[in-house]
Structure 1
């Protein structure tokens, strides 16, 4: 029954409320029901070999979209101007990449033109351009060595990084004399990026140590893995290290399965990743030591009242430094991939002179400022990395005397 209408032709307010309630309640219940159904939906993704399937929930898909982009632009704190350590690693590995292509990449089995390459985690340049040019030249030499000059393909390079990456700076600085067609592919590499059997060669440098998310146990006060007063696992209890390792293994399984699907048979992945020799504690790795120094700087700032300890307790860097043993196990789990070469490289041996605290701090800031700003705000950033610079100099002996077996893992994987 309709409510009473007043002299102006409007419903009485009380009647209007009652009718609105009767109309809205069923609609609200229908929406609530749909939401509950959606939460139970699972998406099945066929990744890797036909025998291997992963079930990825909506929550998993959401975590794949978490973005930790490097500092964009061309300013004093940009990744573009503060990534020379990463560039050094690319240059150190150049000969090894050329050897892998010359000895292990059989271009005769590739029938498609163009030859497609992808850089996963390309950031904003110029390092990605240097790497792509080296690879294109090495592939060209391989075609010539196999007597296939008349079949020399054109090249297409896909530059991939998170949606939040500064692709404008990347493409504005593309080399004018490049010998390839360039494309951008925004999205997380913790999932599919390309059509099946479409890529011939993939490359990734200083990207795979980033986790898709922070392990949830680290933020649970009732968990033995609660990482109170720290932002990394370097000096944390064993439970914290295990949580990081488990998340890394989960992410790598998805990464490798996706790449196995996207690579052509005989295709290749080469990646460079910060690493820890088998059996060596994280406290002897310079990357991990600097993460600990960052955590110590934050705790000092908390004691001074600049931030709260609760803010530090609820922040953890989503970065894991893997060992060769761990990487070997992950690749061997995938039936479609085989390891052609894995080697620890001590790129620090190529650096000249003692550690420069300011230089190291600037490099870390270019890569980490975004994630620190998201959590702590921009007001502490200058002071945080100034403190880090001083702490690096005070800990220079520890950083320089760390393990000499190598801090960079060079890996060549081929698609069976």
Structure 2
């Protein structure tokens, strides 16, 4: 099946580790805020949708966080899930039946697992293990996971669509770094790559999950009625692209390098995510909500330094691999300046954080 082979072609761009000023652990406050607002929905999902009878004979409850990065957000997510499961046992008078918890932290092989495990909470109530590999392929044995979680990870595609990198293709994305502000052909190439990747993702999870198990996925996107070019991520990538072009004019980078560079991220619309689940057929959609908008201008967008820090922490590996480390400071300093200048334009664009909770069907 496609899922088994997907890992062979998966590109990896790990979040920035270490203790420097642009590391991901210190510059993922927005992602932490998403985890916080998702907590209430996760509590509801576990309280109402988790079938205790299915797990009553299990001695341990297995949780997997996909795209864990280097922390600490993965620890917050796991603790939220664990608390909700324990509360459900206690609310049913099953205190003596509360299982032990095994948590699997999973990310690409190149993720800094050393940093992750150095920062594991000392008072944790679970056994921890690392699982390296792409979540577009199999990671766990059949029917071994009770709860899958992933936040701000599945927007990363397994790779840039091939057609986008071919000079003689109608989908060649010359002069741009992303699909949102590009031609219809480029948009369709990204849509096709996303559909292929999500089928691999769901096919793998369907095999790994216990029947009746739950999976919660949070991903950035934009509303169904919004054209790609009117989304907020679009203007941020336009700004990044314009920074590279300015640097090319100064001779810092080559235009050829820019033409061959594309960000392998896909911002999904709710109806596309729903359609991907329905095509797969192994899961029922139990909850699907748009989380409250956290990118309010007064709290994030006017603080252009924070926006630049978030972008750099998440994307530095991608830019470093293609352009080299020496351009990074200038690139993201320029990006910060332009975000501040174009604040009013950014404010008018639309974005949404989608949380979907799926249950593994019995058949």
1:105 to 30, 50, 53: 50
The superposition leaves residues 192-228 of structure 1 with CA deviations (integer Å, 9 ceiling, x where unpaired) of 0000000000100000000000001111111111100
8 Å CA contact 2:164–2:172 kept in 1: the answer is: yes
The superposition leaves residues 5-63 of structure 1 with CA deviations (integer Å, 9 ceiling, x where unpaired) of xxxxxxxxxxxxxxxxxxxxxxxxxxxxxxxxxxxxxxxx3xxxxxxxx4866xx5421
The DSSP-based 3-state class of the residue aligned with 1:197 is: coil
The superposition leaves residues 279-313 of structure 1 with CA deviations (integer Å, 9 ceiling, x where unpaired) of 21223322232112111110111111111100000
Deviates more, 1:333-342 or 1:117-126: 333-342
Classify 1:97/1:279 alpha carbon distance in 2 versus 1 (closer, same or farther; 3 Å): same
8 Å CA contact 2:3–2:204 kept in 1: the answer is: no
Residue 139 in structure 1 maps to residue 85 in structure 2: yes
Structure 1 unaligned runs (5+)? 1-44, 46-53
1:374 to 321, 337, 340: 321
Deviates more, 1:249-258 or 1:298-307: 298-307
Which 4+ runs in 1 deviate beyond 3 A? Answer: 54-57, 349-354
8 Å CA contact 1:89–1:347 kept in 2: the answer is: no
The structure with the largest alpha-carbon Rg is: 1
The DSSP-based 3-state class of the residue aligned with 1:348 is: coil
- Residue equivalent to 1:150: 96
Correspondence list, 1:216-365, <5 A? 216-348=162-294, 352-353=298-299, 355-365=302-312
Displacement of 1:147 in angstroms is 2.8
Classify 1:61/1:168 alpha carbon distance in 2 versus 1 (closer, same or farther; 3 Å): closer
Q: TM-score, normalising length from structure 1?
A: 0.84
The DSSP-based 3-state class of the residue aligned with 1:347 is: coil
Structure 2 unaligned runs (5+)? none
**How far, CA to CA, are the matches of 1:351 and 1:142 in structure 2?**
38
The superposition leaves residues 241-277 of structure 1 with CA deviations (integer Å, 9 ceiling, x where unpaired) of 0000100110000000100111101100001100111
Correspondence list, 1:67-78, <5 A? 67-78=12-23
Q: TM-score, normalising length from structure 2?
A: 0.96
**How far, CA to CA, are the matches of 1:284 and 1:357 in structure 2?**
20
- Residue equivalent to 2:33: 88
**How far, CA to CA, are the matches of 1:271 and 1:313 in structure 2?**
32
- Residue equivalent to 1:31: none
Displacement of 1:346 in angstroms is 3.2
Correspondence list, 1:116-127, <5 A? 116-127=62-73
The DSSP-based 3-state class of the residue aligned with 2:256 is: helix
- Residue equivalent to 1:201: 147
- Give the CA RMSD over aligned residues: 1.4
8 Å CA contact 1:277–1:344 kept in 2: the answer is: no
**How far, CA to CA, are the matches of 1:144 and 1:109 in structure 2?**
17
**How far, CA to CA, are the matches of 1:128 and 1:322 in structure 2?**
22
Displacement of 1:107 in angstroms is 1.8
Classify 1:61/1:135 alpha carbon distance in 2 versus 1 (closer, same or farther; 3 Å): closer
Residue 215 in structure 1 maps to residue 184 in structure 2: no
Number of equivalent positions: 359
Displacement of 1:234 in angstroms is 1.7
8 Å CA contact 1:116–1:155 kept in 2: the answer is: yes
**How far, CA to CA, are the matches of 2:184 and 2:206 in structure 1?**
32
Classify 1:97/1:290 alpha carbon distance in 2 versus 1 (closer, same or farther; 3 Å): same
8 Å CA contact 2:151–2:217 kept in 1: the answer is: yes
Deviates more, 1:352-361 or 1:128-137: 352-361
**How far, CA to CA, are the matches of 1:361 and 1:283 in structure 2?**
21
Classify 1:166/1:55 alpha carbon distance in 2 versus 1 (closer, same or farther; 3 Å): closer
8 Å CA contact 1:339–1:414 kept in 2: the answer is: yes
**How far, CA to CA, are the matches of 2:240 and 2:73 in structure 1?**
26
**How far, CA to CA, are the matches of 2:191 and 2:12 in structure 1?**
20
Displacement of 1:401 in angstroms is 2.1
